Amino acid sequence: MSKLLVLNNSLLRILQHKSFKTHTIHLYNTYFTLPLQLLHTYQILIFMHRYVHHRHELPLIFSPYFEEKQFVRHHDTRYKHDFHTHFVQTESGKRSIKYKRCKLWNNLPDDIKAISSCHSFRFRLKKLLL
């Protein structure tokens, strides 16, 4: 992955005629793209948005995919609309999609979570991640 990251950064520097001292985030901001480290996060959050707002567009296999806290807890809480995150002890468990998807979505600001338009959500999410 690091070789791909170095190659990607080099290509962006060449295209923009920037020196190697240029901070990488400025390279990505020019083209409004995300660094490779954030692309994975971005795609997970896009999937979560589709699950929350456009569940009918996803294949049926994803319908029982998540547990919302409102179904886990039997009383009203401040976080009842967040997804239930399972407890994991290992680092590999923390890198799993099952854990990351809920953690990432629950950490998003509420105003971004409430956006139902896919295009608007992607735009705001990209601005947030950059």
Residues 79 and 120 in one domain: yes
Nearest residue to 14 via CA among 37, 30, 32, 35 = 30
Range of the domain at 105: 36-129
Instruction: Give the predicted TM-score (pTM) of the model.
Output: 0.74
Residues 20 and 6 in one domain: yes
| pLDDT at res. 106 | 87
Per-residue model confidence as pLDDT tens for the chain (130 residues): 688 888 888 888 888 888 877 777 777 878 788 887 788 899 999 999 998 888 888 888 876 666 555 455 566 666 666 776 777 788 887 777 778 888 898 899 989 999 999 999 999 998 888 7
| pLDDT at res. 59 | 83
Residues 42 and 88 in one domain: yes
Residues 61 and 12 in one domain: no
The Cα 98–Cα 47 span in angstroms is 12
Backbone φ, ψ for residue 68 (5° rounding):
-85, 150
Number of domains the chain contains:
2
The Cα 98–Cα 84 span in angstroms is 10
| pLDDT at res. 66 | 62
